[in-house]
Every structure is written in C-alpha cells, then in structure tokens.
C-alpha cells in the first residue's frame, strides 16, 4: 500500500466509538475529512459526531471488510479490537497503528514482556497461570503487590492490591481467569505519562511529561507541565520515543510511568492511541493529541506540541450525577475552564462522562481551578 498522503476530503475510519473516537472525529472533521466509525452500539459518543456510524460486532469480518472499503485509512480508539479484525481490514486499506503494535499492547503480560525484552524499564512483574506459578511469582515479587488479569484490563478493572500471599491466592481464585501477572507494588513519588505521535516516514513528536493522579485506579487529574526535574522528563520522553520506534507505531501512543522515590522511571503500561491524560492538549497545546493522530495516520507533517498555558484536567465520572444533573453553569462561570462532555446517556458510577480543562498562569493554579470547577458542579445539589 502506498505512503502517499491522505488529504483532507478523504474518509477516516475509526474502530471503537467512545470519547477517544469522538475527539478524534472532531479533529478530523475540523481538518476537512469525513469520518466513519465502526461501533458495537448505535448513537455512540463517536457516532454522534461522525459522518457515518456502522453498527456491527468486531467479530463480523464481512462488516469490517465493507467498512474498510468505505474509508481511506483506519485507526483505533480501542485497543482490544481482535487481531483478526485488524488483519481483515489491513488487506484493503492502511491500518495505523498496525495490528502488530496493537497485539503487543492488548495484553499486559505480552506488553510487559515485550518492553523488558527490548530494554525498557518496567515495573517488576511475574506472569503465571497455575497455583505453582503463583507461588513462584510470590517468591520472586513478594507482597504488597498488585494482581492483574493478563488481558482486557483498563481503568483498574481486573486488578487488586494484595498485602499477603494468602490474599494473593484468594484474589487469584476469585478472578476466575487463570492467566495473570503479579506486579510489585510501587510506592511511587508521582505518576507521569508521555503522549507521543509518530507519522508515516518516521517523524516523532512528544508532549512534555504530564503528572497524573488516580482515584480507585481511574485517572482523576492530569497536569502539564509536571513538577518533575527536566532530566527525568527528558528520560521519559526518550523512552516514549524509543518505544514508538521499536514498535514502529504510526499514530499516537501514551506511556504511563511511575517515578520511584529515587527518581527512577518504571513503565506501568502503554496505550497505542490518544490517552485520557492527553485530553488537556485540546485546550492547552498548539496541536491536540487528536489532531496529531489525524496528521500521523494521514501521512501529514506533525503539529507543534508547544504548550500555550499551564493546564490541568479533571475527569467527570458518572458518580457526579448521583444528586441529579451537575450544575454546568457553575463551572463555566470560572474564567479559564473548558467543559467537554462525551454524549453518554447513562451516568453509571465510574463511567467517564466528560472532563474539565482549566488553564492558568501556573500548573498549581490550573489544578486548583480544575478541582474547584468540578466541585462547583455539585455544590448546589
Ligand atoms: P493500570 O490499570 O495498570 O494503569 O493501573 C491503574 C492505577 O493503579 C495506576 O495508575 C496506579 O495508580 C495504580 N497501580 C497500578 N499498578 C500499580 C503498582 N504496581 N504499584 C502501585 N500502584 C499501581
């Protein structure tokens, strides 16, 4: 397949139809592309803003081929698309990132093994799928540790902290999924992420290190720039760049790190797509992570990743709706606050419904403003 640029006016296809696809579609449409989304559900967050929403299962290879014939390039917003689906599409149209990159990032054990084999620093872990294997993992890693299912985990799903070998055994049995990893519990100083984009022909751009906090294993806030030293930030950026090149990713990839107390960086996980921690680039950077995704997969030049103003993002989970509809005007009243809602009808607890981005003169002020804006949503309720 040719590497000729795919120019505005062409049609972009996205597999997966959540908020990441929605923000990708908005960026694509702004650049004059048409966007088709392949979605397991109708009226999805992406479908609402796309030119066309094809509703079918990822296993329906007939539907995937028909979808691939209707677009000029395919990307993902959801990395758990089956390998056979990516392969069927790739016979007809460029798929970026490739199914091979997706395959690595689809499964924790495979991802961590790949990174370790390629010399990237990962959280110490052991993979197992039997009682004996668990005992060996416990001997190697110790407790406290985090037990994680090997596949299909995100936002803390399929992971549990274990403080003793007995707890680990019970938790593993309760998981009912034999293949798992035991990961050393890291008493990290901070969590960081680096979002990078790589285009056709190999250009790579990265944003600065973003500082993240999690609540119940779900991202809560992100701040850019982070408080990390310039040397550690540069290391994180070089690691992200190295992974992009090793995996030959064309598209956007996010690397999540723990910074250990000594300053050492350990990779927690990868996402071969735009990432929740990069949402603040929409309002705060010269070019958003979603526009970079469009540019990368279309064979266009990269956009500048310069930061316009210090920024913070606060996620809006379904829990905020427990007392009724949040008070949107109360947050929008605050200068420097932007509201992003994803068009989801049902505000289930823990479900990502939207986010707020706040811009200010310092990262600390931006974070305080984002948190204040979020609190204002429910003050009257
Ligand atoms: P994950 O789904 O693996 O990205 O984990 C979500 C969050 O859980 C991380 O961002 C951390 O806050 C926490 N977490 C996961 N693994 C570990 C670990 N090995 N040590 C300490 N905290 C962890």
For atom 19 of ligand 1, the residue with the nearest CA is: 185
CA of 268 to the centre of ligand 1 (A): 7
- Please write the tens of the pLDDT for every residue from 166-219: 999 999 998 877 789 999 999 999 999 999 999 999 999 999 999 999 999 899
How many other C-beta atoms are found inside a 10 Å radius of the C-beta of residue 215? 13
For atom 13 of ligand 1, the residue with the nearest CA is: 217
Q: In angstroms, rounded to a whole number, what is the distance separating the alpha carbons of residues 64 and 76?
A: 13
The closest-lying atom of ligand 1 relative to the alpha carbon of residue 188 is 21
pLDDT value at residue 154? 56
Residue 186 beta carbon below 6 angstroms from any ligand 1 atom: yes
Q: In angstroms, rounded to a whole number, what is the distance separating the alpha carbons of residues 175 and 204?
A: 39
Q: In angstroms, rounded to a whole number, what is the distance separating the alpha carbons of residues 1 and 204?
A: 22
- The residue among 224 and 79 whose pLDDT is bigger is 224
Of 150-159, 182-191, 291-300, where does mean pLDDT reach its minimum? 150-159
- Please write the tens of the pLDDT for every residue from 331-358: 999 999 999 999 999 999 999 999 999 9
Residue 269 beta carbon below 6 angstroms from any ligand 1 atom: yes
pLDDT value at residue 333? 97
**Which residues on adjacent β-strands are paired with residue 341?**
354
Q: What are phi and psi of 242, to 5 degrees?
A: -65, -40
Average pLDDT over all residues of the chain: 95
Residue 217 beta carbon below 6 angstroms from any ligand 1 atom: yes
Evaluate if residue 155 carries a pLDDT over 80: no
Encoded tokens for 246: 């090793």
CB distance 61 to 2 below 8 Å? no
Taking the alpha carbons at both ends of the chain, their separation in whole angstroms is: 56
CA of 242 to the centre of ligand 1 (A): 22
The closest-lying atom of ligand 1 relative to the alpha carbon of residue 148 is 3
pLDDT value at residue 156? 59
Give Cα separations from 263 to 124, 224, 240, 269 (angstroms). 16, 19, 17, 18
Q: In angstroms, rounded to a whole number, what is the distance separating the alpha carbons of residues 306 and 312?
A: 15
- Please write the tens of the pLDDT for every residue from 55-88: 999 999 999 999 999 999 999 998 888 888 999 9
Q: In angstroms, rounded to a whole number, what is the distance separating the alpha carbons of residues 286 and 123?
A: 33
For atom 16 of ligand 1, the residue with the nearest CA is: 146
Residue 175 beta carbon below 6 angstroms from any ligand 1 atom: no
pLDDT value at residue 240? 98
Give Cα separations from 22 to 46, 101, 186 (angstroms). 4, 22, 34
The strand pair at 251-259 and 218-224 is best described as unpaired
Mutate to test the pocket of ligand 1, among 151, 268, 276 (most ligand atoms within 8 A of CB): 268
**Cis amide prior to 264 (ω within 30 degrees):** no
Residue 189 beta carbon below 6 angstroms from any ligand 1 atom: no
Residue 214 beta carbon below 6 angstroms from any ligand 1 atom: yes
Q: In angstroms, rounded to a whole number, what is the distance separating the alpha carbons of residues 337 and 370?
A: 7
Mutate to test the pocket of ligand 1, among 146, 180, 183, 255 (most ligand atoms within 8 A of CB): 146
Residue 70 beta carbon below 6 angstroms from any ligand 1 atom: no
In sequence order, the 6+-apart residues with CB closer than 8 A to the CB of 1 are 93, 94
In sequence order, the 6+-apart residues with CB closer than 8 A to the CB of 279 are 23, 222, 289, 313, 340, 355, 357
Q: In angstroms, rounded to a whole number, what is the distance separating the alpha carbons of residues 13 and 26?
A: 13
Q: In angstroms, rounded to a whole number, what is the distance separating the alpha carbons of residues 3 and 297?
A: 10
CA of 147 to the centre of ligand 1 (A): 10
Residue 165 beta carbon below 6 angstroms from any ligand 1 atom: no
Residue 233 beta carbon below 6 angstroms from any ligand 1 atom: no
| Block residue for tokens 């702004």 | 30
CA of 171 to the centre of ligand 1 (A): 16
The closest-lying atom of ligand 1 relative to the alpha carbon of residue 123 is 19
User: pTM for the whole thing?
Assistant: 0.96
* CA 232 to the chain's CA centroid: 22
pLDDT value at residue 80? 85
pLDDT value at residue 78? 87
The closest-lying atom of ligand 1 relative to the alpha carbon of residue 184 is 19
Give Cα separations from 300 to 3, 27, 32, 146 (angstroms). 10, 14, 14, 41
For atom 18 of ligand 1, the residue with the nearest CA is: 185
For atom 2 of ligand 1, the residue with the nearest CA is: 156
């Amino acid at each position: 397949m040719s590497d000729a640029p795919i120019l505005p006016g062409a049609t972009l296809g996205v597999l997966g139809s959540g908020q990441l696809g929605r923000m990708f579609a908005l960026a694509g449409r702004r650049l004059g592309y048409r966007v088709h989304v392949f979605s397991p559900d109708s009226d999805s967050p992406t479908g609402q803003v796309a030119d066309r929403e094809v509703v079918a299962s990822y296993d329906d290879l007939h539907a995937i081929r028909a979808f691939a014939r209707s677009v000029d390039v395919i990307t993902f917003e959801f990395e758990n698309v089956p390998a056979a689906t990516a392969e069927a599409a790739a016979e007809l149209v460029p798929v970026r990132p490739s199914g091979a990159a997706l395959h690595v990032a689809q499964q924790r054990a495979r991802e961590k093994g790949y990174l370790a084999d390629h010399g990237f620093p990962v959280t110490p872990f052991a993979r197992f799928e039997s009682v004996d294997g668990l005992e060996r993992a416990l001997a190697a890693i110790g407790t406290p540790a985090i037990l994680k299912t090997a596949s299909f985990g995100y936002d803390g799903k399929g992971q549990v902290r274990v403080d003793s070998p007995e707890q680990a055994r019970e938790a593993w049995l309760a998981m009912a999924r034999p293949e798992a990893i035991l990961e050393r519990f890291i008493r990290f100083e901070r969590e960081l992420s680096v979002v990078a984009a790589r285009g056709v022909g190999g250009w790579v751009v990265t944003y600065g290190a973003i500082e993240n906090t999690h609540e119940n294993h779900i991202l809560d806030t992100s701040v850019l720039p982070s408080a990390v030293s310039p040397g550690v930030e540069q290391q994180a950026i070089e690691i992200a760049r190295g992974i992009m090149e090793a995996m030959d990713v064309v598209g956007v990839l996010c690397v999540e790190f723990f910074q250990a107390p000594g300053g050492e960086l350990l990779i927690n996980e990868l996402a071969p797509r735009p990432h929740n921690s990069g949402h603040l680039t929409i309002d705060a950077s010269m070019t958003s992570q979603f526009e970079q995704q469009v540019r990368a997969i279309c064979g266009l030049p990269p956009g500048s990743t310069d930061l316009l103003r210090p920024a913070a993002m606060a996620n809006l989970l379904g829990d905020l709706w427990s007392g009724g509809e949040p008070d949107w005007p109360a947050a929008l009243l605050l200068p420097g606050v932007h509201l992003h809602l994803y068009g989801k009808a049902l505000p289930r607890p823990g479900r990502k419904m939207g986010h707020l981005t706040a811009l200010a003169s310092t990262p600390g002020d931006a974070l305080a403003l984002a948190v204040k804006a979020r609190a204002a949503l429910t003050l009257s309720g």
